[in-house]
Amino acid sequence: ALHPDAVALRLIGADEEYDRKTEWTYTDLATRSLALAHRLRAMGIGRGDRVVLCLPRGLDQYMAILGVLRAGAAYVPVDWGYPRDRIDFIVEDSEAALTITVASRVGNLKGKTLALDAALGDLAAEPSEPIGRDVTQATPQDLAYIIYTSGTTGRPKGVMISHGNACHLVRSESAILDLTQADVVFGGFSLAFDMSVETMWSAFFVGAVVLVATEALATSGPDVAIALAEAKTTIWHVVPSLIALVEHPVPTLRLLNMGGEACPADLPRRLARPGLRLLNTYGPTETSVTATWTEVFPGQRITIGKPLPGYTAWVVDEHMQPVPDGQEGELVIGGPGVGVGYVNRPDLTAEKFIMTPFDGPSGAPERIYRSGDLVKLDAAGDIDFVGRIDTQVKIRGFRVELAEIEAVIGEWPGVAQTVVQLFTDDDGSEFLAAFLIARPAEEIDMVGLKARVAERLPNYMRPAGYQILSHMPTLPASGKVDRKALVKPEITVTSDREMVAPATPMEESLHRVWAEAFAPQPVSVLDDLFEDLGGHSLKAARLVSAARKVRGLEGLSLEDVYAAPTIRALALRIGGTTPVAILDETSFHHIAPWKRRLCVAAQTLALLPIYTLAGLQWFSPYL
């Protein structure tokens, strides 16, 4: 490392019971990852192998990534909160030689495993000398990582990215992000979300500090900004839908890199201040995270900009021929960042990764990736995002193939046809809804269906509402389903329990907030926010925000709601019996700003016990 004594990783959000180091220097990271690499080599892991990482949030994740790479293998990250069925599929499909996890998960995973937490003590005895370069030195063509994204077959598909692809991304972005060793960088993404690659390697490239949030802090939603302010964060990689909810400023920020989903038109106006650069970036996982970028300003039209240095982009028609500026067409992307292809999907690789029928900048045909995104070029040469050619959507930063959800639902007994569609709620949040047609003379067991969906799909891919139709609307000419004719369903209570009224003052406090948010439908104190009421993470964040205006509920956190998703369970979790009243700010004495920040920080840290979180939806990219 160029700066061996500089801090590489800093854990934020750890509580008083955390008894391990919360900072690693670049030397610490290098030493620990080398020890793990030696252990992996002793286990027979080497060049060409693939290693699944199934680890909770923490510094050890980064040791695992570097250890796998230094052993010569490629890492395959899975989110800690994925259903077991999905993890098992990824382990099998990637042909993983090993899964690195923790002792509590070893018995639940397929194949060969290594419990990293149990092995930490033994790793100190591993050799400290580098592994022979002739054995482990990766070539640009060797795989660095595989990230699984939503697929159309009912199963996710693995995107293979080489060392050459990843290195090109880091070099290209370094000219745009302008990071230095003095920067403090945060992304907060799950390793299974490709923006984690951008966050980590762009910082390591210059010797900057990467902030790593605990499980509890990472799932605190917009309140994570409080911790980022305390940590003097300068760079934040974030999805727009999260930053849009943030109420607490991070005054030390100098760059906000927004990506993963469309940037709302009013967001630059809300965020702009002197000294803060706002970037809007775009790119599929298949082109190594980011392919285009632009700086955004208040009052200006938002585009996805121009290609990163070294990347190329064309707008083409169905015959793969460039279209005139201003005309809509498919965006195709070229350059050294274009990935290797899909795991075990030669058909899809051949369809999506092709050679141009025209000459590229080199004067010869170029290998490109067909994004499936509908765009057009404006007069300045910037790319305007119009929509999708197929049924792929983005929801809370994740790319979702609606066909994958439809395939899972379609396997359930009694389902003759299903269509899943993305809708926008009245409060601006997005949710998925499933429309079903039952087989003749058959009934659909909706409770069982929802349980099956929960077993197969991550939270962000689970429909918030289900509606059984007598027939699907179709287009007159083709007979295909007319998705635009599907009406946004009212998300109603699906619980078959009787309606149970509040029994304590605390339950009454929470019930009033919930009832207002879900009006006009009735709410039982036993209704699950996600399973029964059709809630999602954005809805949960707004509920927490509203509840905090009630005396006695000021300390409610998003983590509380995920851990106790019914009103009764939540009331027991947070305790208290005081009747509520809307806060009157004029009744409080003014205190100095520094005292207020200190109080907020103290309360925040006191509310950060670590939980293994299930049922997480929108904030799962931040695990």
Residue 621: pLDDT over 50: no
pLDDT reported for residue 552: 87
- State phi, psi for 20 to the nearest 5 degrees: -115, 170
Give the model's confidence band at 594: pLDDT under 50 very low, under 70 low, under 90 confident, else very high.
very low
Q: Which of 59-68, 238-247, 303-312 has the lowest mean pLDDT?
A: 238-247
Residue 420 counted as domain residue = yes
Residue 130 counted as domain residue = yes
Residue 579: pLDDT over 60: no
466 compared with 604, residue with greater pLDDT? 466
pLDDT reported for residue 112: 96
Average of per-residue pLDDT across 243-248? 79
Are 405 and 453 in the same domain? yes
Q: Strands 277-282 and 292-295: what pairing?
A: antiparallel
Are 432 and 476 in the same domain? yes
Q: Is-cis flag, bond preceding 520, omega within 30?
A: yes
Give the model's confidence band at 620: pLDDT under 50 very low, under 70 low, under 90 confident, else very high.
very low
Residue 439 counted as domain residue = yes
Are 109 and 29 in the same domain? yes
Q: How far apart are CA 482 and CA 225, in angstroms?
A: 42
CA angle 89, 94, 97 (to 5 degrees): 105
Residue 610: pLDDT over 50: no
Q: Report the sign of the C-alpha dihedral through residues 575, 578, 583, 584, in that order.
A: negative
C-beta of residue 418 within 8 angstroms of C-beta of residue 434: yes
Are 472 and 542 in the same domain? no
Average of per-residue pLDDT across 58-74? 97
Burial of 487 (0-12, 13-18, 19+ CB in 10 A): exposed
Are 572 and 536 in the same domain? yes
pLDDT reported for residue 17: 67
Average of per-residue pLDDT across 255-282? 93
C-beta of residue 554 within 8 angstroms of C-beta of residue 576: no
Q: At what angle do helices 26-42 and 116-123 cross, to 10 degrees?
A: 100
Q: How far is CA 77 from the centre of its chain?
A: 12
Question: pTM for this one?
Answer: 0.77
Closest CA to 506 of 565, 562, 557, 580: 580
C-beta of residue 91 within 8 angstroms of C-beta of residue 109: yes
Would you call 418 helix, strand, or coil by DSSP?
strand
Task: Give the domain-ending residue among 138, 166, 193.
Answer: 138
Alpha carbons within 13 angstroms on the beta-carbon side of residue 173 total 34
pLDDT reported for residue 536: 72
Are 479 and 505 in the same domain? no
Would you call 349 helix, strand, or coil by DSSP?
helix
CATH code, domain with 360: 2.30.38.10
pLDDT reported for residue 577: 42
Residue 127 counted as domain residue = yes
pLDDT tens digits, residue range 95-143? 999 999 999 999 889 999 999 999 887 886 666 666 655 456 789 999 9
Q: How far is CA 486 from CA 333, 336, 390, 454, in A?
A: 33, 41, 17, 24
Alpha helix segments (H runs only) across 394-445: 402-410
pLDDT reported for residue 492: 55
Give the model's confidence band at 618: pLDDT under 50 very low, under 70 low, under 90 confident, else very high.
very low
Are 449 and 553 in the same domain? no
Average of per-residue pLDDT across 316-339? 94
- State phi, psi for 356 to the nearest 5 degrees: -70, 140
Most confidently modeled range among 218-232, 410-424, 486-500 = 410-424
Closest CA to 170 of 139, 137, 197: 197
C-beta of residue 234 within 8 angstroms of C-beta of residue 183: yes
Residue 198 counted as domain residue = no
- State phi, psi for 358 to the nearest 5 degrees: -130, 165
Residue 320 counted as domain residue = yes
Q: How far apart are CA 536 and CA 302, in angstroms?
A: 27
Burial of 372 (0-12, 13-18, 19+ CB in 10 A): middle
C-beta of residue 54 within 8 angstroms of C-beta of residue 100: yes
Closest CA to 466 of 492, 438, 440: 492
Residue 623: CB atoms within 10 A of its CB come to: 22
pLDDT reported for residue 42: 93
Are 370 and 329 in the same domain? yes
pLDDT tens digits, residue range 180-194? 999 999 998 999 999
Closest CA to 273 of 297, 289, 291, 293: 297
587 compared with 312, residue with greater pLDDT? 312
Task: Give the domain-ending residue among 485, 513, 533.
Answer: 485
- State the total domains in the chain: 4
What is the DSSP code string of 505-566?
Answer: HHHHHHHHHHHHHHTTS---TT--TTTTT---HHHHHHHHHHHTTBTT-TT--HHHHHH--S
pLDDT reported for residue 1: 56
390 compared with 586, residue with greater pLDDT? 390
Give the model's confidence band at 170: pLDDT under 50 very low, under 70 low, under 90 confident, else very high.
very high
Containing domain of residue 348, as a range?
308-390
Are 346 and 432 in the same domain? no
| Strand ranges (E), 360-503 | 365-377, 383-388, 392-395, 398-401, 415-424, 430-438, 465-468
pLDDT reported for residue 19: 67
pLDDT tens digits, residue range 524-545? 998 888 777 877 777 787 888 8
C-beta of residue 10 within 8 angstroms of C-beta of residue 214: no
| Residue where the block lists tokens 């996890």 | 101
What proportion of the chain, given as a percentage, has pLDDT over 90? 56
Are 414 and 383 in the same domain? no
Closest CA to 228 of 199, 195, 185, 179: 185
The amino acid that residue 552 corresponds to is G
Residue 213 counted as domain residue = no
Q: How far apart are CA 205 and CA 202, in angstroms?
A: 5
Q: 92-95 long-range CB contacts below 8 Å, 24 or more apart?
A: 93/148, 93/155, 93/158, 93/343, 93/344, 94/50, 94/52, 94/146, 94/148, 94/158, 94/343, 95/50
pLDDT reported for residue 545: 81
CATH code, domain with 472: 3.30.300.30
C-beta of residue 194 within 8 angstroms of C-beta of residue 315: no
Task: Give the domain-ending residue among 71, 105, 138.
Answer: 138
Average of per-residue pLDDT across 215-232? 84
What does the mean pLDDT of the chain come to?
86
Average of per-residue pLDDT across 323-334? 95
Q: 119-123 long-range CB contacts below 8 Å, 24 or more apart?
A: 119/39, 120/60, 122/39, 123/32, 123/35, 123/36, 123/39
Residue 589: pLDDT over 80: no
What lies within 8 Å, CB to CB, of 477 at 6+ separation is: none
pLDDT tens digits, residue range 331-361? 999 999 999 999 999 999 999 999 999 888 8
Average of per-residue pLDDT across 444-451? 92
Residue 426: pLDDT over 80: no
Are 546 and 474 in the same domain? no
Alpha carbons within 13 angstroms on the beta-carbon side of residue 155 total 16
CATH code, domain with 122: 3.40.50.980
User: What's the token pair of residue 368?
Assistant: 């490109």
Residue 322 counted as domain residue = yes
